[in-house]
Structure 1
Amino acid sequence: MFSFTPQAAQKLNAIMQEKGGNLALCIEIDSGPGGGSWRLTLVERSPAALVVDGVPVQADSATLRRLDGLVIDWVLTPDGPGLGVYDRNLLDGEARQARRF
């Protein structure tokens, strides 16, 4: 399973409330070199949405398998704030640096 840091969960839920509530984070990952292409969007929440660390999430089964072991965090980078992802199983500090989306 994957998880959200408390900061990411709080920020995502605040954004969803600002946009009218009843939304979910839709996560899509296309196959490809280097982990493929990620799309994170807000969509109308369906009854089948999962709730992960308080965040409603919609993703297909293939995406959920690819998310296993990942942590989604709220990060600040020189490009601005956003969501970053790292693998909680990696111990190398450099490898844990978040990739901003």
Structure 2
Amino acid sequence: MVKTKLQKIGIMSVAKFSGIYGLLIGLIGGIIIAVASAMLDDLVPGGASMMYGWGAIIWAPVAYGIGGFLSGIIGGFLFNIIAKMAGGIEMHFKELE
């Protein structure tokens, strides 16, 4: 068993990961909104529901991606501050043969 301690993380690395994760979640949400809007299109006059729904496929991934990226920057920054004060996170890894 190898003992290590995580004392600092790369802020931009966390931000990129969080941004891509947010983009994927936003895409899934945008598709769900588009499908729901297409099913409700008969209830809203003028096709406004359909325009909003297909627009969600574009705006939801962008918004969630930007939000995830910014959250990753803030989270990574806060982790580094707290890890410095607390001494890091102790982790145990098993070496493979």
Q: TM-score, normalised by structure 2?
A: 0.29
Greater share of strand residues, 1 or 2?
1
Greater share of helix residues, 1 or 2?
2
Q: TM-score, normalised by structure 1?
A: 0.28
Structure index of larger Rg: 2
